[in-house]
Amino acid sequence: MLSFRGGVHPSENKHSTRHLAVETLPLPPVVFVPMSQHIGAPAKPVVEKGAEVRTGTVIGEAQGRVSVPVHAPLSGTVTGVTEMPHPLAGNRVMTVVIESDGKDTPDTGIGERAADDFTPEQRIEAVRAAGVVGMGGATFPTFFKLSPPKEKRIDTLLINGCECEPFLTADHRVMLEQPAEVVDGALLIARALGVENLIIGVEDNKPDAVETLRRILPSVSDGAQPCSIRILALKTLYPQGAEKQLIKACLNREVPSGGLPMDVGCVVQNVGTAVAVRDAVRFGRPLIERVTTVTGPAITEPKNLRVRIGTPVKALVDYCGGYRAAPAKLIMGGPMMGIAVASDEIPVLKGTSGVLALDADTAAELEDHDCIRCGRCIKACPMGLAPQRLYYHILRKRLEAAERDHVLDCIECGCCAWTCPAKIRLVHHFKFAKSEINARKRRAG
């Protein structure tokens, strides 16, 4: 079975939502739309308090080379343009507050297009203008990944349908309910890149998704396709959906230390991103909504929901019957790589793949102890690092040594901490070290 070295097998906990069709959350009365929802420079607000906007109107313009615009997720009146704490980072960022008029009137720029006649450059520009970013959680501007340097020859596009994080089932439902859109979006990306191979990788714990995609493939693709297309069933192993691990499993290529997928001829996109690309290129529809899993033992009725960007998380929880018990921890994303947040008043972002509410039993954090040098973290690390050695470097403030031992290659997947019998918060130490090393480099250069 196709896979990679290392990895772990946390309990999947997907049973509550994997068979539930996506429901559309009613329009919220108010949305809070941060200008920073992607890796790179935040967008700059271009609306003022009192402005009337339509669904899809540009409310934030891209700034700099790595940036994308932000759009109004519903029609209504701008009631505020102000700094607010970022839902995940905590720093204050410009945020546009829109009060809904309940009409959801679309912007005039949205409508069907003759996308099949577009040049690669036109497809990429449509993706940029729509504000599409990676929807698996990384939120890297998609147009930038579709514009590799000319010296980087890309021969393979990988579409990530693994969804290896426990609890989350949003991508699974997208593949089951929108398989034609997934394949069509993937083909549009493939044409923009001019690749020879298109692979959609899905973990083998989702056999229905693999079968659905394979069944729909002939009706979506046509005989004139310039690339081969394969749907691959991959071994269920966390973090199978990480870019470098997906490339290793599907192609047996290894991204070099400090390198990117394009260094081995690949571009990786998420299935949700493929659908967003299809909406952008064929209909000029900006990224203003996404499918999100709301789940966890503290949620009364877990669901998969289609929600508008900027909707307060509390609205999602209320739609799911509220809390079964007061949540001991609320996480945006999955339990392995998600970020704990302090309140459900924060808004859904483009990268919000899930909202996970844990009760006191599941959120309990055991006290960490001294390392017993068992080596489990080394065996589990999918990047081939020595977490134990890195940990001791960082404790002793030997950041140069940690960098030499490739701490910057850590993908923060959490495999080491999950398998550690001493319950050491290894990822916290590695995040700190990476932040300090990068800050020193910025100051030096």
Q: Which residues are annotated as a binding site?
A: 371, 374, 377, 381, 410, 413, 416, 420
The vertex-434 CA angle with 347 and 140, nearest 5°, equals 45
Whole-number Å distance between alpha carbons of 291 and 352: 9
Whether 70 contacts 58, CB under 8 Å: yes
Chain position carrying tokens 């339509």: 54
| Residue 439 DSSP class | H
**Start-to-end CA span in the chain (Å):** 45
Helix extents (H) in 398-445? 399-404, 415-419, 426-444
Whether 74 contacts 92, CB under 8 Å: no
What does the block give as tokens for 369?
Answer: 């102890």
In what side-by-side order are the strands of the sheet with 30-34? 30-34, 92-100, 76-85, 52-53
- One-letter amino acid for residue 193 of the chain: L
Phi, psi dihedral angles at 267 (to 5 degrees):
-130, 135
Whole-number Å distance between alpha carbons of 65 and 40: 8
- Residue in 62, 69, 113 with CA at minimum distance from that of residue 309: 69
Whole-number Å distance between alpha carbons of 39 and 138: 8
Chain position carrying tokens 């932040």: 435
* Residue 190 CB partners (closer than 8 Å, separation 6+): 157, 198, 226, 227
The vertex-148 CA angle with 272 and 172, nearest 5°, equals 15
Residues belonging to the binding site for [4Fe-4S] cluster are 371, 374, 377, 381, 410, 413, 416, 420
Half-sphere exposure of 272 (CA within 13 A, CB side): 28
